[in-house]
Structure 1
């Protein structure tokens, strides 16, 4: 079994390319034979290229193709003219930077070359890269061909057929036991682990999961999709989302099916919306509910729940309808009262007193509902106002209560009594603060309690509701879309004529801002501060030690102190060339005329020329020379023992012009002497006798 990863080095390099708006280019495959490599062991994402001795072959990309907006494929074909070698390691790199992007560990494979009549093999290897914005960042536009990726339309068809078959069995939503049950504990909410079906896809929550609930009222949605890469096993992914509304949708070619599993009202109370069991189970549950029937057609209009029997309802657990609860309110308002104690036997819900009902938490039992029906049928009427103090359940009218929609909670009757007396229930809170006295809402109540966690793989373009959001994990940001950086951080959303988003990276002071107006988001604009300064390139400035101007940008040849500069090589300038001498240069070139100590570390030419003259040079041997450095005059002298007429003599130094030459006899017999063939480097002596001849030559 092979292992494949995208390296950490690629993620870092990709981020750098994005900052400079440079395309992601991967252009070379590297094959290696790594001793002791176990292809079943997970790959370390920090792994680098193997040593050069283990690399057996390199080849440029044969073909690139785009699969979708978030997936591209790079392929190489190793022809029969390549080989022989074995490999168990494959890497995909950017050749210019040496960045290793992807790695495959595989069992050892052979690549054979056609030779000596033996047919070699042809191998094709591909890397499929999946990350947000892969197509736009690599700028690959050519569709991938079928030989580059191993998938068929039939596989997708099989998956869809199975989903539809499940839909026939489970319907739009089906759940078992406490699977995906939303519960509230204190001010927090959680979802219970278990199994459910949404849109024909089986979803499983392996452990209880806490969820963050922001603005209320809201619903909790289970978002399920079936997805995976082209080279991996596909699986169901389930996401919990808290929102006001959410419907089925499609993203990046993947269909998402959505079902509301619970609703949360403005007070934070949870209502379970999960259908239990398959469609067959759900139909059976409905048939069980039909054992209660209305006595006549008029009760249908009134919404009264009526027992099928007046004598046997001890085991019944029907919920009270909204109209039954309204009956409780009307009785509390003293419109009807019980005539005798028999109403107790019929399950009338009654408070103990008008002032003390803290212990009451009765649910509206089936007998209470039946009592409401009987009262509606005028079997009981109010006789005095004292029943107001007791809160008897009674409908206001036998014919008109269609518009009522009160919820039948266990403390509904108590609430009716409390409201009649102008009291807010003592258990009610604001941001967790009991309403027993006046309260003050602080900034901490807003910022600490109302920030909303951003789930995994969320597109920030969808977050336009004003508020405070936060992302806790780098990987969740990486899986998402339209983050300024794939890092955790906080998000502030503001409304105006459009929307403003401000994103702050969690581990630095880097901050980004963008605007949504009309139908378009602007690019993220980065704020700079003392810890995050802009680069010279971002300012349009020249970097320290960088190239001033590229050769291609020079319109004409430029000169630096007379040295032509065309951008093809370096120009080195001495201190003298830029108008000054160093102390060492002055001391080497000049002889001091007097004592002078400069204030700086270098003399200007004007200072040196005013206080120094160039130093002369000489060689003071038997055959020597003297040079006046200021004028360039060269004087050379020497003695020559003449051994033969026509003897040649060479000057110690070469003149730049033919010098003036003078001869004299230093010793020996006097005779005729002369010189011919005088040049810048030598002359020829003419002598009638052997003599020692002296000479002096003057020139430059």
Structure 2
């Protein structure tokens, strides 16, 4: 934290300079180290420069420029060749007037290190500073102009308020009433004019002798380089309509109509109301959003009774819930009859016992049918009961002809298409735990010595075979026969028999394999 002040000594110096026809000349910056200095305490304006024994560095001013009409910026660049020093106070003075002190700054300790260049700037502000000192050069020609950035931020904020409130929005107060003629009272209030938020903190009594007439609110943002900027509110009276304008100092004023005063002294309210309360009271405060009456209710979404309303996530959930997503199936929505006759897009609940032309599976029923249609191309998806949605059957109708059902299994997000065999003695199925079981029969086998029979699985295992085996249907020889498998892959395996002697004819054998 730091403190700044213009000492009383500067006022005496300034008066003397003006009296002899000279301009003030702050031409030197002094750095001092004051033991025990508390930078949080205000500076005593009665003090001037500290004792010379406390000075640690002094240097002529390198640049001076104006920041508006009421502030001057003084800067020095301390070369890296200057020896190290520590300071906690900075002063401006006219070195030609030893006792002069134009500005004092108390701050936390800072060290200018060896080999390091440093730039220091002080801004001295008083009414008419630039004109009195004869400074015409703008500081922006040689300094970073932080005012430009701050003004840019303020302008962005003003434009945001302008977008939200429009040019004029009286939020509260500013009631105008006639008092004892010719006085009119304006109550305190809040208003947005041109994007600036104006606050009238006290009642205003306005004298109006000429009628008819008008009252206006004038808002302007003003401040100095060292002060807090604020929006200043003025109540203006004019017989002619007032509008936004720029004054002689270049400040932008924004004007709003407040009230009219008729010839008989009565008051006409000209205020344009705004703010949150006025916004919420509007019949349609958010035109960009759907009205409640434009949104379908849950009952309307489920029944499909209306076609001119919009869905919300809640009504979509209610719609799909009746088909088994996120809830139980609705009995009245069940599909009956042949799936071959279903050609309309949509979601259908079904029971295997009530429908025909289902996928060729004896191991589980189905509870959901999804239909999608594009011209003559139709797709059906049937989802098994008690099984994840990444396992389902699919078939297409192309130019009036239904194709065969295919089973789709998602294996690590990869869709693997499996063909369903149609032999009762050779086939496969998906078990409830997700594993795949396959089996088959071989007929009329001649087994003798080491015999090998090659088997191709009815469909490939997507990942891996876990177990496999086989055996002969009958053995009437009384001889020992060993049956085992080898060369097992995802596509098939070899069935091997090991008989101790001779060749024997067998009716056949069975094999099985299990994996995923």
Bin for the TM-score computed over the shorter chain: 0.3 to 0.5
Q: Give the structure-1-normalised TM-score.
A: 0.36
Greater fraction of residues in strand: 2
Q: Give the structure-2-normalised TM-score.
A: 0.47
Greater fraction of residues in helix: 1
Q: Kindly indicate whether structure 1 or structure 2 has the higher relative contact order, using CA contacts under 8 Å at least 6 residues apart.
A: 2
